Structure 1
């Protein structure tokens, strides 16, 4: 991943972004390291192969002619194996172009063989798949389904895929959540994998297990699991893996909307207040005070950047992503701009993440 200026963007990408009115690409996700490694290692494999075969030919009369036939052929086989390994590393790097993803204010440009445009409003499903890595779950890839039925895969070869995925989840929910809420208000059931949401409550396995809204207390969402708790229960009613669960943030928004409609106090369903029950910062935020997080400050009206040099109202903020090294803020239809801040300039990122998550979803409800 790298930030870019307009001059660094290939002309083909600039033309594509301009033609589809995506805005200027600001961030490029480019897995160049893996392809460069293959291009570096494949010549080494060819050299090893040449040395083995050359040694066999040079010293055949002195050494290898006295060996049993199967042993001498094994030496040639080892040389051939090294040649095939080098070929295996070189051919994909040369013939199969690596994936490049350009992040724009209004969508993505997905470039491999050609440039595919993925607008945020055209994504109908977004899900991630997890894999077991050294005994723990880690991100394998994201799958995007466009409204025309085309699927796109963003795998872990892309650097900082978790940051890109978090940004996409918030951006896609901005468009899908209002549509889902309209269906919910029309008394329709909404399916999210094996979980169904309806005005009556939550259900699993085609209604075999039900949790009415009157018995719902809260949900807990982390990087791998979504857990739903019944009122007064210490164990979750259900714990769903996020692997393959579509549109998680839309599901979260509908549940929070449903609990508000059912007159369940939002404090009971909000992960913010449940994780920070005694936080004076949350009390100040609820009272309308401005909270400072280093280079960023916020209150119930919006976000202040760089010592109040720029103010972003909540209703103009489309998404707010906190990554490993920086913060990315995308404005909505008014500015269509991306703002980035280094994470080292921010104090208490976990509390900032929870408050911004809460504040943004209040705009949807």
Structure 2
């Protein structure tokens, strides 16, 4: 069923209509070839992304979740290890640590939603093996300090770059700082396919070779198994779609940034909301989400939804407050405060000027009434 909002949070139907001819050609080409799993398109996508990101190796997998999980496994994370990360993230960041038998150690965030680097060192113990940073909303964390800490304490560094494809920090791309990084190609992401998909980047040849085995049942060849692996293969159809989307990526990112700049220009006079700061400290943000902090957030959210503007909260309940996960032993004051105030506005490459103006008009109307 088509999205019924006047301003949808993301408009995948509009995206399809815009690229309809190209996408149908891709589907017919892949279907008629009979080549569906780990074939040419996957290898080509891996090569092009490695070249784009300036990293030695890129490996397609079936999701961003598996990208993180297989990265941890390939790097030797095991039961009893501790990994420092954040609560303010999609649960996959934490669950992949747990599924390796390791313990997630959660620290607080800054006012921008990214990890507070000043909280990391106090969380390090003799069992700490790694830091997993999350580049939230398409903005890279403060990597200078994080790299210094990981070096000082001899810790592995992993990047959850699911929301940050194409983002950079001091002219270095997300996914190139740590031993491994995981990307998601979920349709909601800035570079998305038409289903699930993910990718791992690394500069370590040994880890890359381990990942090749882990994603495909531990098969070195069709007749030789060298370990117990997993089934985590990016299929050729999704790879072909991603190759096409990659060719349009910079153009789409420009359109997305124009929406963000319109919001900033026209909402900056409202004292009731705090807007994100873009591109600070020599960054390039890719705006996977446009997150404001708003007074009377819940009422504003309801008002916008009632006026056919699709907005979202990521996330109302922080992961460490999800009772079934048993993570409530962490004191994360900023995370809890942030979760109560944040609201994600519609942002995508197919959001037109009239729609953006309508969003601005209704937010102003809410605070002036």
TM-score between the two structures when normalised by the length of structure 1: 0.23
Higher RCO, 1 vs 2 (CA within 8 Å, ≥6 residues apart)? 2
Richer in strand (by share): 1
TM-score between the two structures when normalised by the length of structure 2: 0.23
User: Could you say which structure has the larger radius of gyration?
Assistant: 1
